[in-house]
Amino acid sequence: MTFGFNFETTYKNLSSHFYTETAPEKSSDPEILLFNSRLADSLGLDEKALNSESGREVLTGNEIIGDTPLAMAYAGHQFGQFTMLGDGRALLLGEHIHKGERYDVQLKGSGRTAYSRTGDGRAPLGPMLREYIISEAMHALGVPTTRSLAVTLTGDVIMREQALKSAILTRVAGSHLRAGTFQYAVIESEEAVKELADYAIGRHYPDFADKENKYESFLEAVVHAQSYLIAKWQSLGFIHGVMNTDNMAISGETIDYGPCAFMDYYDPKTVFSSIDVQGRYQFRNQPGIAQWNLAKFAETLIPLLDEDQDKAIEIAQQKLDNYKDLYQTYWLTNMVNKLGIVKPEESDVELVLEFLEILEDEGLDHTSTFRALSLDRISDINVNDEETFNAWAVKWQTALEKNDQSKEDAYRLMKSVNPAVIPRNHLVEEALFYAVKTDDYSKVEKLNEIFKDPFNDNHDEYYKRPPRDEEMIQNTFCGT
């Protein structure tokens, strides 16, 4: 039985040093906790078969369809420090082909690999549920992201600070190629970088394959993808938490949801990750960190950009310099859309920045304040400095009137980009607590149902309001 999977693993066409074939460790008593019917249907998979007893065996790797799975080798700058890495607890089952598109299907938490170092290769239940919830919410919010097909209990216990249930996340992505994969390749050889770049171009940007300057076009495309992605994050108040180069996907998808969180009360200095003690990856730093990561990626392509190293560096620098303008364009477009303006003008930058300053000075909730504007409920926004806020509101209304659109169209646009609900930290943590501590998955299932429709105001107020003081979550954890 294939369960609808149409696997081919072109990654194995690369030299063997890029991966290690590895069989998943056996799970003693698989049980599917979450299954993404919408995603399965969009991929042409057999939902009924995958939810059967034999389907559980596939989703934990007890039964293998096709070739032996593989763990990918890669490197990365983690908090600025270069490290040799690899899939220490994940295995690529294969590349599923559906309607001409190719998708990596990966098991996360399936056991030790050649790159596990001292880890056991397993994953606790909580972090796998967390990635499922947030990655699927991100998809519904229109953010490029890896997807979650299923979370399956293994039936086994793993030891961390205490004994925990282990689970496997079945993850789907355009690919799992990372900036760190190229950093690994450059350590191997110049030939390895060329081999990997040709593969990545063929996989993600086949229109470039026959171009004379294909590597330059490839770098440019990755810069575009990342600037678009980070602008989306910033517009929604999303904080990734560990923007290491091994967590930057070449596809432009958000990958590896560890200590991530959505900001509640607007503060550009917000940090959630318990391990980011220096605040390297705080909210306001994310655009700059993305450019830094892109610079490390560009360094690996230098030998391919031109035979003359100085010329190659000049080309790379030019593409990297474009990032700031691209990011600013995407960010400003996102932000003026949140204010009901379709096409930004230079004067709108000041309008946006003034509003963000009000959010910060007043300690306003990022999501609910933008939603209040969208619903024409400006009176619901409580501020101390009414004079400043009212002056800004006049500027905003003037900007709306300048646009060649009706007020109805403006508010319709705003309601389509300003969510009513997001995966607020306190809601996610509450749901995970009940799931992990009491085997009650109803709150997780409820959140997943709500986040399928994040722009709907009919959700219960409990899911829309910001956290009370006693509900605030200060730290999030990687959950390895």
CA angle 431, 437, 438 (to 5 degrees): 85
Look up residue 212 and give its two tokens.
């004379």
**Per the annotation, does 458 bind a ligand?**
no
Q: Which of 246, 264, 276, 348 is catalytic?
A: 246
76 is in an annotated binding site: no
**126 carries a ligand binding annotation:** no
Query: In this structure, what are the phi and psi dihedrals at residue 179, rounded to the nearest 5 degrees?
Result: -55, -35
H-run or E-run covering 216: helix 214-236
Query: Is residue 380 marked as binding?
Result: no
Query: What CA–CA distances, in Å, run from 37 to 1, 182, 187, 351?
Result: 19, 34, 41, 42
Q: How many CA atoms lie within 13 A of 116 on its CB side?
A: 19
122 annotated as a binding-site residue:
no
194 is in an annotated binding site: no
Q: Is there a contact between 273 and 282 (Cβ–Cβ < 8 Å)?
A: no
Known catalytic membership, residue 207: no
Measured at the CA of 404, the angle between CA 229 and CA 331, to 5 degrees, comes to 15
Phi, psi of 74 (to 5 degrees): -160, 175
178 assigned binding-site residue: yes
User: Rg (Cα) of the chain, in Å, rounded?
Assistant: 23
Taken in order 449, 452, 458, 463, is the CA torsion positive or negative?
A: positive
41 in a known ligand binding site? no
Rounded CA gap, 272 and 164, in Å? 23
Stretch (H or E) spanning 166 = strand 163-173
26 annotated binding-site participant: no
Q: Phi-psi category of 191—alpha, beta or left, where left has phi over 0 and alpha has psi -120 to 50?
A: alpha
120 is in an annotated binding site: yes
Alpha-carbon distances, residue 423 vs 181, 297, 444, 454, 474 (angstroms): 30, 31, 11, 9, 15
Indicate the annotated binding residues for Mg(2+): 247, 256
Question: Known binding site: residues?
Answer: 86, 88-89, 108, 120-121, 171, 178, 247, 256
- Which residues participate in catalysis according to the annotation? 246
- Residue ranges of the annotated binding site for ATP are 86, 88-89, 108, 120-121, 171, 178, 256
